[in-house]
Chains A and B, each alone.
Chain A
């Protein structure tokens, strides 16, 4: 049983399809692992034991009937608690939705079910996906399986920690400023932010609508590609969904190769604030790509220096508008309704009680940035910066096929270290944010352990919009070369829980 949890998603699906193991056995092994370690890790907010076993039994029955199984049939998955799940609590890591049971499935949830993926439960996250450490969850922080006193990244720390703790071979995250890639980097796993609009946002609780993007988290590049293909594609329920074919990501992941490719190193992603061990592993990755036959080009994207500032005006502005729906009238928490107070007073008391400090901070920041006297100076200017960043990317992709950088400036920091210093916390997403502003695609994958603290370092690969397959082609080649060099996947060096 124990070895079932170490298998990749592709291996599990193949074994189930071949009848070597049942989906129920695989699901039970993962549920047992969750029971054994999740008290320490706290990756899950809700485990749907009965639902998962029922889905697994359905897959086994399908196989017995001789029906064809999909590429991920019977594979367990951990779902970020930001996607609605019919009949199963969805809290977005917030007290304001504690106990809320959605009456409908998100499009992504529906697609996972249609692909016969077994949903184990909902994973912990920074409240409303606002944060870089999962410390902003109203239900307590998640620990990094490499060192439980450190953060697992955020906002999707629960999803990445579940992968690194072998509680699930697949997970789903969402990436508004790096919330898939940054947790992947600090937990030694793989995370992909697809092109904006590639995966439906219907039923995904909105934080910053022009930046939010759901995507796959996995332990291998191929597993991420298989999941990418299962969830991507046009959705008529989402007006921002791209109506175009999904790039051939699985094929790319199976044929990793960088020979003759032009790889750009972003000059602005280095220097002050970058941990020495992170830069060392990044520079080794550049060397590796050169050895594998890529041409390395230094690229300057001068406007990237303004990306963090633009992001912390645009994201809070959109959040202050999106979170207006939490008004205590139609769903969620209601506080102070004693028959004497007005609806407006009840709304204000409910939001005070239901939102945590980071959410309040961003709602206030957004309200300020959008207010009439400051609109042009802040929100309007931030949108101009967004144009400049998009132009930087366009110029870069005229010269190279992909860009690379460290995913995060440092390895996982201790829980609590940056909790009272918002600006220090915001720096964790320094390298990931430009991609969200421009809407293109990016991946983080492990590139080694930082020598000074023995913690994972992530390599970020960035591709143009709708060229998500390039991420997988480069990622698979890097992963294969590193795994051969290390003699095993990086995650095997993590301490056992």
Chain B
């Protein structure tokens, strides 16, 4: 099994949208390596002809009649927003200048 390097942890942090500090990268690299090392045993069954189970219940798509029902008001929906404007969530810029 490959070990987890500090660079890999930095890459994972970017994928997970976590702006980790340098000392966290060092700390997590060691811990994640330990944990992965300990749990990698699951791959011992990978070759076997075992169907995977993703969920304890056989899930089916649950539909309801398409009827308009009362829901949160705009004020309620926006009540926890860090910033709002004109009954909308106000977010930082998403597209660059160019």
State the A residues within 8 Å of B (CB): 100-104, 196-197, 210, 236, 239-240, 242, 306, 308-310, 312-313, 320, 324, 327-334, 337, 339, 341-349, 351-352, 355, 357, 360-361, 363-365, 367-368, 371, 376-378, 380-388, 390, 422-423, 437-439, 465
Find chain A residues with CB under 8 A from B86 CB: none
Structural contact, B31 and A422, CB atoms closer than 8 A = yes
Complex Cα distance, B57 from A10, in Å, reads 33
Structural contact, A368 and B4, CB atoms closer than 8 A = yes
Complex Cα distance, B18 from A171, in Å, reads 34
Q: Which of A337, A346, A381 contacts B42 (CB 8 A)?
A: A381
Q: Which of A343, A355, A368 contacts B32 (CB 8 A)?
A: A368
User: Could you give, for residues 58-70 of chain B, a 1 whenever the CB lies within 8 Å of some chain A CB and a 0 otherwise?
Assistant: 0101101000000
Complex Cα distance, B79 from A344, in Å, reads 22
Structural contact, A361 and B31, CB atoms closer than 8 A = yes
Structural contact, B51 and A438, CB atoms closer than 8 A = no
Complex Cα distance, B82 from A349, in Å, reads 14
- Who on chain A is nearest to B75 by CB? A103
Q: A352-B20, A360-B28 are in contact. Are A312 and B56 (CB under 8 A)?
A: no
Complex Cα distance, B63 from A236, in Å, reads 9
Find chain A residues with CB under 8 A from B14 CB: 348
Find chain A residues with CB under 8 A from B51 CB: 384, 387
Complex Cα distance, B38 from A423, in Å, reads 8
Q: Which of B31, B45, B89 contacts A385 (CB 8 A)?
A: B45
The secondary-structure label for the interface of chain A is: helix
Find chain A residues with CB under 8 A from B57 CB: 196-197, 240, 242, 439
Structural contact, A346 and B92, CB atoms closer than 8 A = yes
Find chain B residues with CB under 8 A from A239 CB: 59, 61-62
Q: A103-B77, A242-B57, A330-B89 are in contact. Are A377 and B35 (CB under 8 A)?
A: no
Complex Cα distance, B89 from A345, in Å, reads 17
Count A-B contacts at CB 8 Å.
179
Least CB distance, A114 to chain B, in whole angstroms: 18
Structural contact, B80 and A101, CB atoms closer than 8 A = yes
Structural contact, A367 and B91, CB atoms closer than 8 A = no
**Given A103-B80, A332-B82, A378-B36, list of 15 further CB < 8 A pairs?**
A306-B45, A309-B41, A313-B42, A327-B17, A330-B81, A361-B35, A364-B32, A377-B46, A378-B40, A382-B39, A385-B42, A385-B45, A387-B50, A387-B51, A387-B52
Structural contact, B80 and A382, CB atoms closer than 8 A = no
- Who on chain A is nearest to B34 by CB? A423
* Sample (25) of A-B pairs whose CB atoms are under 8 Å apart: A100-B80, A103-B79, A197-B57, A210-B54, A236-B64, A240-B55, A240-B59, A306-B42, A313-B42, A328-B82, A333-B82, A337-B82, A348-B17, A351-B18, A360-B18, A365-B36, A368-B8, A378-B40, A378-B43, A381-B42, A384-B46, A422-B34, A423-B34, A439-B57, A465-B56
Complex Cα distance, B61 from A348, in Å, reads 33
Structural contact, A364 and B56, CB atoms closer than 8 A = no
- Who on chain A is nearest to B49 by CB? A384
Find chain B residues with CB under 8 A from A355 CB: 18
Structural contact, A382 and B89, CB atoms closer than 8 A = no
Structural contact, B80 and A102, CB atoms closer than 8 A = yes
Structural contact, A365 and B32, CB atoms closer than 8 A = yes
- Who on chain B is nearest to A239 by CB? B62
Structural contact, B28 and A364, CB atoms closer than 8 A = yes
Find chain B residues with CB under 8 A from A437 CB: 56
Complex Cα distance, B36 from A66, in Å, reads 62
User: Could you give, for residues 15-27 of chain B, a 1 whenever the CB lies within 8 Å of some chain A CB and a 0 otherwise?
Assistant: 1111111001000
Complex Cα distance, B32 from A313, in Å, reads 12
Q: Is B53's CB within 8 Å of the partner chain A?
A: yes
Complex Cα distance, B41 from A377, in Å, reads 10
Q: A306-B42, A348-B19, A364-B13 are in contact. Are A438 and B32 (CB under 8 A)?
A: no
Find chain B residues with CB under 8 A from A423 CB: 34-35, 38
Find chain B residues with CB under 8 A from A334 CB: 82-83
Q: A103-B80, A342-B93 are in contact. Are A363 and B53 (CB under 8 A)?
A: no
Complex Cα distance, B15 from A104, in Å, reads 32
Complex Cα distance, B32 from A360, in Å, reads 11
Q: A100-B80, A334-B82 are in contact. Are A210 and B42 (CB under 8 A)?
A: no
Structural contact, A309 and B72, CB atoms closer than 8 A = no
Find chain B residues with CB under 8 A from A385 CB: 42, 45
- Closest 8 pairs (CB-CB, A-B): A439-B56, A331-B80, A383-B52, A334-B82, A103-B76, A309-B39, A348-B19, A381-B42
Least CB distance, A471 to chain B, in whole angstroms: 17
Least CB distance, A158 to chain B, in whole angstroms: 23
Find chain A residues with CB under 8 A from B12 CB: 364, 367-368, 371
Structural contact, A363 and B83, CB atoms closer than 8 A = no
Structural contact, B46 and A376, CB atoms closer than 8 A = yes
Complex Cα distance, B8 from A427, in Å, reads 27
Structural contact, A388 and B45, CB atoms closer than 8 A = yes
Structural contact, A337 and B35, CB atoms closer than 8 A = no
Least CB distance, A373 to chain B, in whole angstroms: 9
Find chain A residues with CB under 8 A from B21 CB: 352
Complex Cα distance, B48 from A385, in Å, reads 10
Find chain B residues with CB under 8 A from A346 CB: 92
Complex Cα distance, B62 from A5, in Å, reads 44
Structural contact, A337 and B18, CB atoms closer than 8 A = no
Find chain B residues with CB under 8 A from A364 CB: 9, 12-13, 16, 18, 28, 32
Q: A242-B57, A364-B9, A381-B45 are in contact. Are A422 and B92 (CB under 8 A)?
A: no
